[in-house]
């Protein structure tokens, strides 16, 4: 299995609070991605990174920001969580032209 961990695995928070999710890889892959999974929508890309400090928006980036200061870590931040951001969040990694490997997911509940 690809070395990808996500933390925390579960989180319950309140509306308006900031939340940071962490994705950590040990594979030294260049590309990293954050997706959210919701019923009826499949997986939708939030943000992705194509190198240290190089990031770009995906299709559902509003309300989210990311940072990548090291190859191995990709952080997803919800500056002020809303109930619509209740979801399961997946991190993925890849090399150019290769398959994406997914982490185990983080279940976030915003009350």
Partner 1 sequence: GNSVTQMEGPVTLSEEAFLTINCTYTATGYPSLFWYVQYPGEGLQLLLKATKADDKGSNKGFEATYRKETTSFHLEKGSVQVSDSAVYFCALRSANFGNEKLTFGTGTRLTIIP
Instruction: Please give the C-alpha separations between residue 69 and each of 47, 49, 54, 73, 91, in angstroms, as whole numbers.
Output: 15, 11, 9, 7, 16
Between strands 106-110 and 10-13, the pairing is parallel
State which residue, 50 or 111, has the beta carbon closest to partner 1: 50
State which residue, 103 or 110, has the beta carbon closest to partner 1: 103
Residue 27 binds partner 1 (CB under 8 A): no
- What 3-state class would DSSP assign to 85? helix
Residue 99 binds partner 1 (CB under 8 A): yes
Q: Where are the extended beta strands (E) located within 26-63?
A: 31-38, 42-51, 54-57
Residue 66 binds partner 1 (CB under 8 A): no
Residue 11 binds partner 1 (CB under 8 A): no
Handedness of CA 69, 71, 73, 76 (dihedral sign): positive
Residue 44 binds partner 1 (CB under 8 A): yes
Among 8, 16, 51, 104, binds partner 1 (CB under 8 A): 104
Q: State how far the Cα of 93 lies from the Cα of 23, in Å rounded to an integer.
A: 10
State which residue, 16 or 48, has the beta carbon closest to partner 1: 48
Q: Which residues bind partner 1 (CB under 8 A)?
A: 4, 31, 33, 40-45, 48, 50, 58, 90, 92, 94, 96-97, 99-105
């Amino acid at each position: 299995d690809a070395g990808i961990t996500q933390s925390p695995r579960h989180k319950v928070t309140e509306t308006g609070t900031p939340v940071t999710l962490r994705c950590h890889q040990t594979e030294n892959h260049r590309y990293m991605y954050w997706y959210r999974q919701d019923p009826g929508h499949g997986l939708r890309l939030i943000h992705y990174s194509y190198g240290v400090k190089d990031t770009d928006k995906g299709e559902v980036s509003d309300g989210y920001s990311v940072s990548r200061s090291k190859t191995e870590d990709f952080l997803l931040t919800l500056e002020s969580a809303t109930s619509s951001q209740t979801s399961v969040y997946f991190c993925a990694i890849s090399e150019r032209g290769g398959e994406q490997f997914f982490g185990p997911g983080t279940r976030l509940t915003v009350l």
